[in-house]
Structure 1
Amino acid sequence: MERKLMLFFLIQTASAASFDIQFLVSYGIQSLPEYTDVLFVDDIIMFYYDSISEIGEPRQDWVRTIIKEDPQYWEPQMELSKQCHLSMKATAESFKLPANQTKVHVIQQILGCEVDDDTKEITAFNHYAYNGEDFISFDFNTKTWIAHHPRAKTIKEQWDILYESNKERRNFALIIFPLWLQIYLRYGNSTLHRKDLPSVSLLQRTPSSSINCHATGFYPEKAIIFWRKDGEEIHENVEHGEILPNLDGSFQMSIKLNASNIPLKEWGRYDCVFQLSGVQNDLITRLDKDVIRTNWKEGEENLSVTSIAIIATMAVLTVLIIPIIGFFAYKKKKAAEPLNTQ
């Protein structure tokens, strides 16, 4: 199993065991703090800091335990965030493109290391993105930078000659980060290794609607769900849903299959598969009419259509009758008026 320590872009894909940190610097976006950093362990937020409050917030009970048992841990963490803010601000200035190209500047950084549990091999990485584009990354073997954007070539030349800074950057990722990871895994073991399988149900609103394979109560959120036919994953007539959080901290997700053109006798060839990261066995739910849950009652669809037809008919009659009633009322009123003999 691999352990990761990461500083990542806003859109993240992490492994089953990871330590993630996010740094974000933004300019010209009033709704966001200028600087934000968030530490993750296995996609779980453990620490949050931004440049408005300048006060870090532990987000897990086991992080509060670390602070309680080791008060000296917290101060360096706060100081690191403040220093990173200044560093990222200076980096943002050096990255800026000509002012007439954009007024909004956002820097996102991925910084981290990956530790293999078996071999103890450590792989470090440090990437920057600028305004949503891959910009520059650090090569930990050569202790030099790799430009991924034409504008980054000048930055590479400036940063390559910062030998001491690059050496410290390498040591921090290969020595300090793995030590942090060991501490976090020790204190947060029960949470970080938690694996909760979901309950999976087949849901259908009406006999003509799609069949929804719904999984809820799983943890962590690193999971996939898909429909397959004869053991092969299918994509046609399939609609994927998003992973959503539950109030208890677990997650839910669903995937729909339009089975309207699938003969009932062939339903047995289809099944819904749920896979949770770190769990070997899949949860497989066979497509079976008898296990589908629905609130629909026999005749409900026809009744609904009939009701709509009746309402439409009544509306048309109303439109026609009101003018007729008005016409006869007018004639009756005219008949009651005295004749004008002049």
Structure 2
Amino acid sequence: MKGFILLVLGIGILHCASAATHSLRYVYTATSGIPDFPEFVTVGLVNAEPISYYDSVIRRETPRQDWMAKTEGSDYWERQTQISIADEQTFKAGIDNIKLRFNQTGGVHIIQKMYGCEWDEDTGVTEGFKQYGYDGEDFVAFDLKTKTWIAPTPQAVISKHKLDRNIANNEQKKHYLTQTCIEWLKKYVDYGKSTLQRTVPPLVSLLQKTPSSPVTCHATGFYPSGVMVFWQKDGQDQHEDVENGETLHNDDGTFQKSVHLTVTPEEWKNNKYQCVVQVTGINEDFIKVLTETNRALIIGVAVALLAVVAVVVGVVIWKKKNKNKKGFLPTSTSDTDSDNSGKVVQKT
């Protein structure tokens, strides 16, 4: 998938996602050519909520949730810090290495890695993933079933072969992703259950800048991030002339999402349009009906309400390609990457 998004530490989830599905993932990002931005950043996330943070400026792993600070002691944070310091050096070298493969010199470049796991509390089904990317493109990804690496670009083939040859390391990776990661995920969910398992209903508004602009259905303040926002016309789901926005993270830990409908005044007048919002874990639909009588009000408040649609700018990553791709991070594609070291050093 091409292009970057500014990571609002929340990721869109299909409406069918279960409220009992939990995830633990770590995102590593190394950059070059970006002034006044840390060259290396790591973020730990549980259910899309940040739990830990490290960057090359502060050089300390720090908690991002009160319940993490209270449950894990200094030994834990020192261990995580040392892992991040080691990865920082590897990732910085990795940028130079991969730039050579792509025949690049200057400019802005970004390497990322993401790994982690998911656990369905109801069914017991688990899943693990580890992926790398470069400049917004997939680079290499670990296949749990075959314990081999997938290289979608010619420049990644060298890394794939080196990673594939390290059979013992790939065995360890699978063990971490399918067992160790799941054990820690369950601990974290238990630590933060009062926060992670809460539900908060959305505030839904209809917005329109001008009479000829698309009508925006904006849902905000909801939790968890699993949400479905869609338009209906005369009781039927409307798919044409609809543009879906990303699920984004608010400053207070809740989420927001917008869906835009292009509709003519005649269609608006002669048909019943409504926006429906469904949040995972809340057994209630939140509906806003679009009518001719409320059109003036919608236009009048649009500018004021849109002004508060602010997101927390975090780490640069690219969107998921599909449900199975879990997000994606560019890898430290250095041939000296810890993936080739014969030793699996993962955050817990």
**TM-score normalized by structure 1?**
0.70
Cα deviation for residue 46 of structure 1 reads: 1.2
Distance of aligned partners of 1:290 and 1:248 in 2 relative to their CA distance in 1, 3 Å threshold: farther
Separation in 2 of the partners of 1:287 and 1:222?
24
Cα deviation for residue 39 of structure 1 reads: 0.6
> Alpha-carbon deviations, 1:108-149, whole Å to 9, x = none?
112122223244343222111122221112223333222221
Q: Which of 41, 54, 58 pairs up with 1:53?
A: 58
Cα deviation for residue 223 of structure 1 reads: 2.4
Cα deviation for residue 61 of structure 1 reads: 1.0
Separation in 2 of the partners of 1:256 and 1:144?
42
Distance of aligned partners of 1:21 and 1:240 in 2 relative to their CA distance in 1, 3 Å threshold: same
Is residue 32 of structure 1 aligned with residue 18 of structure 2? no
> Alpha-carbon deviations, 1:161-208, whole Å to 9, x = none?
223322332222222211211121011111111211123344567877
Separation in 1 of the partners of 2:12 and 2:117?
12
Distance of aligned partners of 1:252 and 1:292 in 2 relative to their CA distance in 1, 3 Å threshold: farther
Instruction: Give the share of equivalent positions with the same residue, in percent.
Output: 40
Partner of 1:182: 186
Separation in 2 of the partners of 1:206 and 1:51?
45
Partner of 1:287: 290
**TM-score normalized by structure 2?**
0.69
The DSSP-based 3-state class of the residue aligned with 1:294 is: helix
| Residue identity opposite 1:228 in structure 2 | Q
Superposition pairs of residues 297-336 of structure 1, within 5 angstroms = none
Distance of aligned partners of 1:170 and 1:215 in 2 relative to their CA distance in 1, 3 Å threshold: closer
Deviates more, 1:272-281 or 1:182-191: 272-281
Separation in 2 of the partners of 1:117 and 1:296?
44
Partner of 1:155: 159
Partner of 2:274: 271
Tell which structure's C-alpha radius of gyration is larger: 1
* RMSD between superposed Cα atoms in Å: 3.3
Work out which structure has the larger RCO, using CA pairs closer than 8 Å and 6 or more positions apart in sequence.
2
Cα deviation for residue 274 of structure 1 reads: 0.8
Whether the 8 Å CA contact 1:204–1:293 is kept in 2: the answer is: no
The DSSP-based 3-state class of the residue aligned with 1:262 is: helix
The DSSP-based 3-state class of the residue aligned with 1:184 is: helix
Whether the 8 Å CA contact 1:202–1:293 is kept in 2: the answer is: no
Query: Structure 2: which 5+ residue stretches go unaligned?
Result: 14-20, 301-348
Higher helix share: 1
Separation in 2 of the partners of 1:43 and 1:209?
33
Q: Which of 106, 112, 122 pairs up with 1:108?
A: 112
Query: Structure 1: which 5+ residue stretches go unaligned?
Result: 1-8, 298-342
Partner of 1:223: 227
| Residue identity opposite 2:80 in structure 1 | Q
Cα deviation for residue 276 of structure 1 reads: 1.6
Is residue 78 of structure 1 aligned with residue 86 of structure 2? no
| Residue identity opposite 1:36 in structure 2 | V
The DSSP-based 3-state class of the residue aligned with 1:106 is: strand
Separation in 1 of the partners of 2:154 and 2:93?
20
Q: Which of 94, 97, 101 pairs up with 2:100?
A: 97
